[in-house]
Each structure stands twice: as structure tokens, then as C-alpha cells.
Amino acid sequence: MTAHLTVFEREAPSASAIDESLRSTKSSVFWLEDAPHASYPQLTASHTADLTVVGGGYTGLWTAVLAKRRDPSARVVLLEAQTIGWAASGRNGGFAEASLTHGDENGRARWPDEFDTLERMGLENLDAIERDVAELKMDVQFERTGTLSVAYEPHQVQWLKGAEAGVYLDRDAVRKTIDSPIFAAGRREEHLSALVHPGRLAAELARVATDLGVEIFEQSSVTGLRTRGSGVSVETARGVVKSAKVALGTNVFRPLLRRSRLSTVPVYDYVLMSEPLSAAQMDDIGWRGREGLTDMANQFHYSRLSADNRILYGGYDAIYHAGRRVRPEYEDRQSSYRTLASHFLTTFPQLEGLSFSHQWGGAIDTSTQFCAFHGLARRGRVAYAAGFTGLGVAATRFAAEVMLDRLAGDPTPRTQLEMVRKKPLPFPPEPLAKIGIEATKWSLDRADHREGQRNVLLRTLDRLGLGFDS
Ligand SMILES: Cc1cc2nc3c(=O)[nH]c(=O)nc-3n(C[C@H](O)[C@H](O)[C@H](O)COP(=O)(O)OP(=O)(O)OC[C@H]3O[C@@H](n4cnc5c(N)ncnc54)[C@H](O)[C@@H]3O)c2cc1C
């Protein structure tokens, strides 16, 4: 089959239009700038607790909040290496999706027998978030908007026609929803996802946790776990917390348990945020339903409006650095920002002249099954969950419930799930991880240029239930 150019290559904007849009962009995370941040002290003395939570992202924060809800008298301490929500939880797209399995296709293929249960539990989880946001008066700009998936190329139109959830929209109908000359079709789904302000969600979860009596410590990196007698000592440079149970929400960072070392790889994903659109610019694009917008390419984009009508535009590039490294210098990548600006102007040529105010990147917590894995170690005293593969905004709350179920020791419908009980295959060690990920990325890009046709490598990975995604 001959390779075709993608629409982003066929309809690329001029280099000067890209330069102009990025002329005054600063490298900073809009969501973190736009969220209130309370400071929490460093751990400088020894403490005792019933539960110690490691990690101040959504996984750790939901675990602390839900632990106090289950038992208000429990002493809960949360230790964060830097500041609350600084990592993926404060810099994501804010798509809170019901899916616990990184989409229906992946869920159905891996867990066909329990997929209906997983789907129901995922929806209940998203509904629970909506309820918590209202009941706990969390100012997180929650909007149950649903999503619009769009196709640019004929083969993607066929994929959309064959999908089940939501309503199929032809070219005219999709352009009435959000107006882009490159949208050939769409599928609108109204109930299975919401949008949140990611930075505020982290800050508000920390506020709620504190109100419930959780003690939060920032700048308190955990260096080791020591199991002693009936408890676990969680060690930091300046203090130790001794507790009966520990929950780990450390995501792509160096795992504290040896068994998790090969379970995730950090894959960097990049984002642009525009200036607020004027009323006239909003009229030019429509988007009155404020849906989360995504597309059908293997190397997909995601896009959404903020409360003040900025457009966030991210995705496409997925950059892995050998050795599973997470480093501040990887959060900035000019060539990815230029690619995103170019694709944005191809999508919305009517917005030429709009500037991007912010640019940033973050590490996606990729696992070989494309969704979180859950585990229990140290004779039932340490629970962990990680590997959300870019879909953790809502799934982290479910993972928190699983960790608390498991630490409590009694089986629940959640802990009985095969998805929860079984571990995904690990990524290989270096240099195989880097070679394998680069070959997969190359193959995915080729598929986008060849009407979606998957090559031998992708078909083999599909058969083995292995893969790489962001
Ligand atoms: C650019 C980008 C866009 C994304 N978009 C979406 C989206 O639209 N929708 C979606 O569902 N998901 C999205 N995701 C994924 C989502 O953000 C994550 O799955 C989710 O935030 C994971 O939360 P977490 O708490 O597990 O991890 P994190 O937010 O990474 O938090 C982990 C925390 O643990 C701390 N920590 C690690 N090790 C230690 C230690 N030893 N001691 C103390 N603290 C430690 C870290 O400092 C960090 O604060 C995106 C991710 C990125 C990067």
C-alpha cells in the first residue's frame, strides 16, 4: 500500500503563522498558575499514623480523602516529594472519562467476560466524582460535557461509523458542533466523560483532605519502606512515619517496591494553551456544547475549552527517554510545540492570529495494558496503583477505592475483578524498552499514513496483548 500524506501535512499552515502563534508563549503550566495553592509543611519529625499515603497527585489525594470518609477517626498522613499536584495531576487535559480500561476496545479485548461490569463501575466512578464535587463544594470547574471524536480521513470515518457509543455525525453535523474544515465526520457521546480544571482538582482534594483531618507534608520525598513487626516505617530525609498500612500513589516516579520497577514507562506528552478567545472567535468555531474534542488517529490530539474560553491543544507526539527517566528538562520541547501549533492552525484556520500563552509537557504513566494495575505487597500492608496511561483523571478515584478495599482485607466486587487481580506484563529492560517503543511509535505513524493499516509488529503486539500508548 502506498503512503499518503496526513491532513496535517497536506494542509500545513505557513511557518510564519506558526512563529507568530508561539511568539510570546511562556513555558509554564496554566492550570497550576490558575489554581490556589496552599503550602503544606515538610516532615521534620517522626509521626505515627494508621495509614500513610505516598504521593500528592490524584491517586494519593483520593486515597487520603476516601480513607477518612470510611473511618473519620483514622490518622492519615500524606507525604509528597514536591508540591501537591505538581506532576501529571496538575498538568493534564482534564478529561475525566468513565472508562477504567482506556476505552471500550481495549477493555473488551482484555477482559471480555467482565467488560460490562467494568463499564458499569467506571460510570459509577464518574458519577461519584460528580457527586463528591457537589457535596464537598469543590471549585474544580466540573462540566459534564461529553466528548466529540472526529475523523479527518476516509478510513477514520469508517471506524467512527462502526463504533457503538454515542451518535454518529456526518460532515455537516460535526461542523455545526465544532467548525473545522478538516472534520469529515464525528461521534458525539454525552454521558461518559466530563471536563475538570486539573490544577484545581488537586488543590481542592488537598483542601478537602485537610478539612477531614489528613496531615499533608510537602517536600517530603519517601526514600524507603521498612516493614517492622506489625507496621511499616516510611522514611524521608528528615522524619519517619510509622503506620499499620501504606498506600503508594507514586505513578511514573521511581517505585518504592522493586517489583514495580519495570511496570511503567514515562512517556512525555505536550500541550499548548491559547489566549482566551473573543466572542467573535468563539462564533467562528461554534463549540457551544463545550465537548472534550479528540480524534481517531493513532497519534491522536485532544483539545478543550477552559472556563475563560482558552483552547487547550495537546497530544500527537509521545516522547520516551531511554532509562525511564523523569527530568524537568524533558517538560519543554520546542519541536513538539511547533508541531502542535501547526496542527492547531490546520484544524482552525479561522483562528490564525490567536496566540498561545502557555506551553508545557508532562510524563504519561504508561503500562503495557494501557490502564492501571493494582497490587498488594509486604503481607497485605502496602497497596499500590499506577500505570493509568494518560487516562487517570477519573480512574485514580477508583484505584484509591481498590487500594483501601485491599488494605481492609475483605474481598469486594472491585477486588474480585480480573483487571484488579492480574498484573500486566512488564516492559523489557533497556536497551530493549527504547528500541521497542521507538519501533512501535514508527509503526503507529506509518499506520496513520497508510489508511490505518497495522504492520506486522503492531499486529503481533495486538495478539500478545502488549503495546505502547499515551
Ligand atoms: C500532559 C498530560 C495530559 C494528560 N491528560 C489526561 C486527560 O485529559 N485525562 C486523563 O484521564 N488523564 C490524563 N493524563 C494522565 C493523568 O494526569 C494521570 O493519570 C493522573 O494524574 C495520575 O495521578 P497520580 O496521582 O497517579 O500521579 P501524579 O499526578 O504523577 O502524582 C504522583 C505524585 O507522587 C509523588 N511521588 C512520587 N514518588 C514519591 C516519593 N518517593 N515520595 C513522595 N512523593 C512521591 C510525585 O511527586 C507526584 O506528585 C494526562 C497526563 C499528562 C502528563
Mean pLDDT per 10-residue interval, the chain, length 470 residues: 81 96 98 94 97 98 98 98 98 97 88 96 98 98 96 91 90 97 96 97 98 98 92 96 97 91 90 98 97 91 98 93 89 96 98 98 91 94 95 97 96 96 88 76 74 70 62
271 CB within 6 A, ligand 1:
yes
pLDDT of residue 445: 74
For residue 234, list its beta bridge partners.
Answer: 225, 241
| Count of CA atoms in the C-beta half-sphere (13 A) of 342 | 19
Strand-strand pairing, 265-274 and 240-248:
unpaired
Are 293 and 178 in contact by the 8 Å Cβ rule? The answer is yes
pLDDT of residue 468: 56
Burial class (CB in 10 A: 0-12, 13-18, 19+), 229: exposed
Give the residue from 419, 378, 418 showing the smallest Cα distance to 395.
Answer: 419
82 Cα–ligand 1 center, Å: 12
* Ligand 1 nearest atom to the CA of residue 363, by list position: 53
Give the residue from 64, 51, 149 showing the smallest Cα distance to 401.
Answer: 64
Q: Could you tell me the CA-to-CA distances from 227 to 44, 232, 253, 371, 396 in Å, in that order?
A: 21, 4, 21, 29, 26
Identify which of 89, 327, 403 to mutate to test ligand 1's pocket (most ligand atoms within 8 A of the CB).
89
Give the residue from 318, 347, 337, 345 showing the smallest Cα distance to 26.
Answer: 337
Burial class (CB in 10 A: 0-12, 13-18, 19+), 115: middle
Per DSSP (E only), the strands in 321-379 are 356-366, 373-377
183 Cα–ligand 1 center, Å: 31
Identify which of 65, 251, 316 to mutate to test ligand 1's pocket (most ligand atoms within 8 A of the CB).
251
pLDDT of residue 464: 64
Strand-strand pairing, 47-54 and 76-79:
parallel
* Ligand 1 nearest atom to the CA of residue 361, by list position: 1
Burial class (CB in 10 A: 0-12, 13-18, 19+), 232: buried
268 Cα–ligand 1 center, Å: 12
pLDDT of residue 465: 65
Are 151 and 186 in contact by the 8 Å Cβ rule? The answer is yes
Give the residue from 119, 35, 48 showing the smallest Cα distance to 83.
Answer: 35
- Collapsing DSSP states into helix, strand and coil, what is residue 68? helix
352 Cα–ligand 1 center, Å: 33
53 CB within 6 A, ligand 1:
no
Q: Cα(436)–Cα(444) distance, rounded to whole angstroms?
A: 12
Q: Cα(125)–Cα(128) distance, rounded to whole angstroms?
A: 5
Q: Which residue blocks in 229-333 are alpha helix, DSSP H?
A: 279-285
- Collapsing DSSP states into helix, strand and coil, what is residue 370? coil
pLDDT of residue 430: 82
pLDDT of residue 372: 95
Instruction: Please tell me the residue having the least CA distance from ligand 1 atom 46.
Output: 55
Q: Cα(77)–Cα(372) distance, rounded to whole angstroms?
A: 24
Q: Cα(42)–Cα(161) distance, rounded to whole angstroms?
A: 54
Residue 140: all three cell numbers together? 474544580
Identify which of 43, 367, 388 to mutate to test ligand 1's pocket (most ligand atoms within 8 A of the CB).
388
142 CB within 6 A, ligand 1:
no
The pTM assigned to this predicted structure is 0.95
Q: Cα(140)–Cα(127) distance, rounded to whole angstroms?
A: 15
Cα of first residue to Cα of last residue in the chain, in angstroms, is 27
Identify which of 78, 232, 253, 319 to mutate to test ligand 1's pocket (most ligand atoms within 8 A of the CB).
253
For residue 311, list its beta bridge partners.
Answer: 305
157 CB within 6 A, ligand 1:
no
| Count of CA atoms in the C-beta half-sphere (13 A) of 80 | 24
For residue 304, list its beta bridge partners.
Answer: 312
Are 265 and 427 in contact by the 8 Å Cβ rule? The answer is yes
CB atoms within 10 A of CB 409: 10
Give the residue from 418, 420, 391, 419 showing the smallest Cα distance to 404.
Answer: 420
